Chains A and B, each alone.
Chain A
Amino acid sequence: MASADIELMAHLMRRAGFGATYEELEKYAAKGYEAVVDELLSPMEQPDLEMDLLERYFVDWKEMNALEVNQAYLTYRMINSERPLQEKMTLFWHGIFCVGNSKCEHGRQIQHQLDMFRELGMGSFPKLLLALSVDPAMVFYLDNCMSHKDAINENFGRELLELFAMGVGMDGHANYTEEDVKECARAFTGWTIANAIPRYPYGRFPSQFAFNAADHDYGEKTFQGETGNFNGDDIIEIIVRQPSAARFIARHLYNFFVADEPQIPAWQGTPPRDMAAIKEMEDAYFESNYDLTAMLRVMFNSDWFKNARFEKVKSPAETVAGTMRLVKDFTSPKPGLHPIAMEIRYMGQDLMNPPTVEGWHTGQEWIDSGTLVERINFTADQMGNVTLPGVKDIISRLSSEGINQPGAVVNRCLDMLGAYTLPEETRTYLVDYISKAGELHPGTEAYGGQIAQILQLIVATQEYQFA
């Protein structure tokens, strides 16, 4: 079986990225765990994708108009980014600060927001919240452009508190009052977008944030017990100082990176799974002056993270991107990416088009009988394709290691897919299966087929649905 180092590295890369091949895991393991965490936390030191090349071959990516084009692009990024944590954090914020194509219907506008997450998503929380509040897609999605000083629309003001920064409550008490919501909304009046250029005949133009002073309520407001002539940035400054903000991000990070938690509507009454872990991240938040990287560093280097193996159901995006990284397909531009990206939708995660402003419910809610069939069939189809480079690599590695015993084949295949383990009973089924298929002769074509079948059955297990 894989060494403890490899197992730990497989865990880290599944969570902080989209998984890695066995060869990559060996390289990472040689660098040492904390060094790899440092590397993940410094994405700007890794090269970005070469957009000029991508836009040359994926000509529609320069325009990036339609939802499906954006989904293909995001999928490609998740498969190929050499800054996996940056991409993972982009997905993290996208799941919290939702905007959706169902309302915005302007792919590039949403992509601008994701670019903002890439740039700011691992930095200062107040800066991120401020950027979010002036993001045209968000201003439109939550109707802040419809909020006027003489007729406020509470949508953005409410979600900023409830879904973006504080949460309804914690430790059994409420984090804010209805009055706070109104005052918050008042503070953001006049934060709007400029009149858009109509889409015909030459397509859409990015919207521009505009502050309309004449429509801003300059009056006195009382928010979270403080009083002043607050503008939106003052509100953000107050929010980030609250214990609820620290708790909010810490719980979200824990749910996304460590272990599945109850979903957000339950947070007011349900304590965190691991309060000590949450506290460590909260401390890091305040000690670092609201820095997200500080929280991530504490998390990834903690024992509670390292020990939380397979405590999360993979999201559809993780399932598809992780599978593609393992089989090493779509590592350069080629046709056929769109259907791969669509698999994420079929599995229940229509990226950039979340079901509600609450985003996607995670954990076991990813799975129903329809989406389970989609994920098993997709991953099994990929793993069964012995022409894909990653599958070839696995076969030739097992071949060169001369592995010809059924039990050893199953163990080694589990290693290759990311150091998985199976309950003994399930493992026995697989060993029996391969034993029935006849003798194993490494290096032969039949051997490749036998390995591929074991890979297919492993990805169909319950255990493989976890990260």
Chain B
Amino acid sequence: MTSTKKDPVLAVLQLSGGNDALNTIVPYSNPLYADNRPSVRVSEDQVLPINDSVGFNPALAPIKELYDQGKVAIIQGVGYPNPNRSHFRSMDIWHTCEPEQVGSEGWLGRAIRDLDPQGENVLTGVNFGRGLPRSLAAPGVPVASVGNLETYGVLTGIEDDQRTDALDIFSRMYSPAMGRGPVMDYLSHTGMDALKGADILSTAPEKYSSSVEYGNNSVAQYMRNIAQTHIAEFGTRFLYTTAPYNSFDTHAGQMVGHSSLWREVSAAVHDFYTDLTENNAADNMVLLVFTEFGRRVHDNGSGTDHGSGGVAFVIGDSVKGGLYGEYPSLAQDKLLEGDLHFNNDFRGLYSTLLEKWIGIDAKSVVGGNFEQMDFL
């Protein structure tokens, strides 16, 4: 493996289900906020102010701390034209950058192919969680999906004392052999790749030490895995994980649920940065936190339904912290069928990350030229 120590790395934390932007970065002094949120509102005295008009939900206090250090860019009103309020479709659009038709290739899959066209490093992209998000999918691009870093590998169900022998046989079975045809050759190659990837990844926990104690929830544990993999310097450029499936889909009971989700997420993000800093690995990491859409401006008595116009965060030592883009208007005549309008196309956000951070041409990855931002 070539020395890739200071190559820029992007981690992505996907908040699936549609995070309520209004109750994340709260327009607390806007009377329309109180009007529209009779039941699902963060009260003004709870808000952690950023300025006179908006502030953090108190559950984001750990992120506020990073914000105060200038490391957090808040991308307001992020979305795309003709918003789709289906989780699946909208997430697909964010994953594929194809708002018009159903696309199959993920933006990060394409980015990995750009960086490593021959697939020389099987760990250029690593996902934490079962199943590959479409953002990382592209034909011929190997991406490991790691359900559990501590146990990741082939034939994990075989008991320890037998497993070494079993893996030895596996590697012999999958060694290239003559005259078995192209499909078998492909399988051999893939099996050996899988074994190699697992072997390398399995060393990450051993190489890692830290005084940071992450929370006992899946976001925190996967953020820890991302830190471990990044610190281990396998040449991984994209790391990805997803908060539990649709957990941000707060149709009901939002006041309790949304706060507790954000307490977990923001603590995990804060721990992640403390961890990277302690391990001298923070300088080449940027973290993107995004969701497929924001939620309805008006609450439904107990929660909020699917909307548009969301909020995203970009966090890192290299990030110029601050508020980016305009906070969408809550005025009735400025809403789109009861939703916030978007002011920033997410493909501009992606382009900024790809060009100004990763250093590759964004146009072919996101499917066009989009206005970039100044947070990097």
Binding site for B on A (CB under 8 A): 67, 100-103, 105, 200, 260, 313, 342, 345-346, 348, 353, 355-357, 361, 363-365, 367-370, 372-374, 376-377, 380-381, 384, 423, 425-426, 429-430, 433, 436-437, 453, 456-457, 460-462, 465
Contact = CB atoms under 8 A, between A and B. Distances in A.
B345 interface: no
Contacts of B183: 260, 313, 363-364
B197 A369 contact: yes
B172 interface: yes
Contacts of B144: 369-370, 373
Interface string B128-160: 001110100101001111000000011111100
A357 B102 contact: yes
A297 B184 CA distance: 30
A426 B102 CA distance: 43
Given A377-B157, A462-B173, A353 B88 contact: yes
B324 interface: no
A458 B144 CA distance: 23
A370 B132 contact: yes
B194 A377 contact: no
A369 B193 contact: yes
A192 to B, nearest CB: 20
Interface stretch (B63-71, B162-170, B221-229): B162-170
A376 B350 CA distance: 35
A462 B104 contact: no
B82 interface: no
B155 A376 contact: yes
A318 to B, nearest CB: 16
9 contacts: A200-B305, A346-B130, A370-B144, A380-B157, A423-B180, A425-B177, A426-B173, A429-B169, A462-B188
B173 A67 contact: no
A65 to B, nearest CB: 13
A372 B142 CA distance: 11
A453 B170 CA distance: 13
Given A342-B130, A365-B139, A377-B156, A370 B145 contact: yes
A364 B102 CA distance: 23
A426 to B, nearest CB: 5
B370 interface: no
A272 B88 CA distance: 37
A333 B187 CA distance: 36
A372 B103 contact: no
Nearest to B174: A462
Contacts of A384: 157-158
B191 interface: yes
A265 to B, nearest CB: 12
A329 B358 CA distance: 47
A460 B173 contact: yes
A266 to B, nearest CB: 14
B207 interface: no
A372 B174 CA distance: 12
A456 B170 CA distance: 11
Contacts of A376: 154-155
Contact of A462 (B87, B88, B191, B198): B191
Contacts of A370: 132, 142-145, 194
B86 interface: yes
B187 A102 contact: no
Contact of B104 (A356, A430, A436, A465): A356
A381 B134 contact: no
Contacts of A100: 102
B188 A105 contact: no
B187 A381 contact: no
Contacts, number: 120
Q: Name the residue in B142, B143, B184, B194 with the highest tally of chain A Cβ atoms < 10 Å from its Cβ.
A: B194
A258 to B, nearest CB: 15
A429 B167 CA distance: 11
B169 A355 contact: no
A372 B194 contact: yes
Contacts of A67: 88
Contacts of A355: 102, 104, 134, 137
Nearest to B162: A453
Contacts of B317: none
A369 B190 contact: yes
A383 to B, nearest CB: 9
Nearest to A339: B130
B183 to A, nearest CB: 5
A367 B132 contact: no
B131 A372 contact: no
Given A369-B193, A377-B157, A364 B177 contact: no
A140 to B, nearest CB: 12
Contacts of B173: 426, 429, 460-462
A465 B194 CA distance: 15
A376 B193 CA distance: 14
B354 to A, nearest CB: 22
B137 A380 contact: no
Nearest to B157: A381
Given A425-B177, A429-B172, A373 B194 contact: yes
Nearest to A346: B131
B88 A102 contact: yes
Nearest to A313: B183
B312 interface: no
Given A369-B142, A373-B194, 9 more contacts: A100-B102, A103-B88, A346-B131, A429-B172, A453-B158, A457-B169, A460-B166, A462-B187, A465-B187
B83 to A, nearest CB: 14
Nearest to A378: B157
Interface string B167-210: 00110111001001001101110110110011000000000000
A419 B305 CA distance: 53
- The residue in A365, A377, A430 that gathers the most chain B C-beta atoms within 10 A of its C-beta is A377
A370 B136 CA distance: 12
Given A462-B188, A465-B187, A456 B169 contact: no
B170 A101 contact: no
Contacts of A103: 86, 88-89, 102
B157 A456 contact: yes
Contacts of B275: none
A456 B197 contact: no
Contact of B154 (A342, A364, A373): A373
Contact of B102 (A102, A363, A456, A465): A102
Contact of B155 (A363, A423, A426, A460): A460
B102 to A, nearest CB: 6
B122 interface: yes
B165 A433 contact: yes
B128 to A, nearest CB: 12
A423 to B, nearest CB: 7
